[in-house]
Structure 1
Amino acid sequence: MKRILIAIGALAFSTAALADECASAGTQAELNTCTAAQYQAADKKLNETYQNALKRAVPAQRELLKKAQNAWITLRDADCAFMSSGSTGGSVQPMVANQCMADKTAEREAFLASLLQCEEGDLSCPLPPGN
């Protein structure tokens, strides 16, 4: 339960922060550029958290985590391609796709970060507690 609340809080904060960052964009091209930067920032943070999770995982779990992450990437990409398909060919399509990618990436990062907060004896958490 604690991990879920942490993930929801982090996601709500990150989504609001992402929206504020692009509020001053004046053109569609600026919005597209801004949302691309947001996605890149979210992806960088996810990669850092993912690397920390890999380090925390016991050897037998590392391949499972890699497999899960690769499957999640495939799902995220397919979901965002679908979500932005209604605007294909339009100037807003990159913004819609980037925002989807940023949101889903921030959500995944919050989930992985919650796994790094596991307490001793939490059987719902696959990673061992940190030192």
Structure 2
Amino acid sequence: MKHYLIAGAALLLSTSALADECANASTQLELNTCTAQQYQTADKKLNETYQAAIKRAAAPQRDLLKKAQQTWIALRDADCAFVSSGTEGGSVQPMVMNQCLAEKTVEREAFLASLLQCEEGDLSCPLPPGN
């Protein structure tokens, strides 16, 4: 339960940070570029956290985590395609898509990061505590 609260707090803080970074953009192209960079930054951080989780996971859990991550990626991409479908063909569509991808990626990274903070004896946490 504790790790869900940490993930939720991180998501709230990161969503406002994403909005602040593009506050000075004045054209749609600049907004599209900014949100694409935000997504790339979030994806890089997610990949780093995911690799740390994979290393910490016990052998049988690694396959489960890989499957969960692949399934999550498919769900994220499908959700964001749906979210941005209302702007199909418009110049704003890349921004809407990238914002969605960045927000969901930040949320997933926060969740995986919370799993790296497991305490000894926490049965709701699948990863062993760090050394």
- Indicate the TM-score class for this superposition, using the shorter chain for normalisation: over 0.9
Does 1:12 find its partner at 2:12? yes
Provide runs of 4+ in structure 1 moved above 6 Å. none
Does 1:26 find its partner at 2:52? no
Match of 1:37 in 2: 37
Match of 2:82 in 1: 82
Query: Structure 2: which 5+ runs fail to align?
Result: none
Query: Structure 1: which 5+ runs fail to align?
Result: none
* 1:84 aligned partner, one-letter code: S
Q: What fraction of aligned residue pairs are identical, expressed as a percent?
A: 79
Structure 1 segment 1-131 matched on structure 2, within 5 A: 1-131=1-131
**Displacement, 1:9?**
1.0
C-alpha distance in 1 between matches for 2:93 and 2:38: 15
RMSD of aligned alpha carbons: 0.5
C-alpha distance in 2 between matches for 1:9 and 1:124: 19
Aligned pairs, number? 131
Deviations 1:26-75 (A, max 9, x none): 00000000000000000000000000000000011001100000000000
Relative to the length of structure 1, the TM-score reads 0.99
**Displacement, 1:10?**
0.7
* 1:22 aligned partner, one-letter code: C
